[in-house]
Structure 1
């Protein structure tokens, strides 16, 4: 069970979203590259609860682009953890590893529009360039996550160096020319932000102005990786018919990029709901890469799923 959730919608003169006639569809989309932690539990349970409260459906998507770190064993463990939490596993389960042709098709469409270019600078080269620039006392612009905006190959490399890398087997990223992309959009981009849990699920939306320019030229794919999170998430949400994207607050700002891609690729615009984060003792977001306490270890230590829900504020 996922806990008691009222199915009764409170009376309101202003409906919370465009229509209750369309069945809401929510999703939980983890990567099986490590064991689930408390943050995953919160996201999975909030999505499952919202689907019940709004008379909708709840789907699971497996984000397994990284075929080296994502393993069948970790995927099996993830399903076991979700079952322990009481999160329903409804079909179909979409796997990103089976969707490469869809990402390729979307990327080709953007390339045909002249909006994608190969970028050869490595992370180390970007870091050195930005550090040298900031030694002059001028801050280099950064995206909402704090990463330096891509400076452009021609700012750092000579024309000969660019040509040499283009003609060799050098690694590269395929980036979206954000300035050109925004130039093709003749209307202000926004998204509709709704509440993520409890009574806030039913409250009217707030219209949020998208600020995609603050992200610069984001990566859409790499030489050895067929897609990035930004590209795959909008394709996958459209393929699964997701109407309500309920995810962590850490992805709030990235919604601006997703609205640009949805517009360029003629994809439907879902409703967005960003939930609170579970933070560690040091104030940072929980992360599998930092080996934060997993649900499996909590279960082994005797924590019940009821106690776990209480621990994450549910």
Structure 2
């Protein structure tokens, strides 16, 4: 009889106890960070703190806090959903395990192996309910902090195309009909505006790094081409954006890259202000845009966005 009790208490509940112990690290080590996919490229893993009609405010594991514009968010994978699903399945299994083991647990109550058997009977359900509760609470907290992902309603024309500097949609054509005050307000590169502070640019581009006191740098694709992007500041205000369009195994040689961007910029900004064999310049809403062909074989094509019409602001440092 003692042998039968030992087999029932130890072997009979070995599987549910082992399952519960195996899933315990999943509950203890789960992250509360959401994965935010960005239209402009890449993703951000951070905890969502709060949101407003224009953006979502997040905090990374390193303690850095910044804002992600809603217009740049394509999707959010909130934390807790996977844990809730596993916890739900484990809870169902735990209930079945309790129903089938309660009678044996009662018979073994007070014996040497009774505690082990009864503990194994209830363990999956306890862990499953804990995981389900934690997952739902974490998911709910994150989704409520993010709020509605729909872009905010505008009483006037939206500020700028969110995903690309080469958007030639009807909204771009409508912008040309607005007042000079509106045009000046929308001058800049992609979502940036001239006069922004470094912190404001960081809020728009979470992956930028300070390559010097007055320059923030990042790498991201532009119109299908790998690009190094440098944001230049003067007196704490954004004055210039310098892009180096680098060659890759999947892109054309630099000379073809130059022709590609010349066509794209001409489609967006129309007739060039100046045009030569190795450079083309456009004047647009509060900005001057200059496209420069590579000086030597293998060098990148350069694209410079400048505040106003100051052509002398192109420097070798940017």
Give TM class, smaller chain: under 0.3
Q: TM-score, normalization: structure 2? A: 0.19
Q: Which has the larger radius of gyration?
A: 2
Q: TM-score, normalization: structure 1? A: 0.19
Compare the two structures and name the one with the higher strand fraction.
2
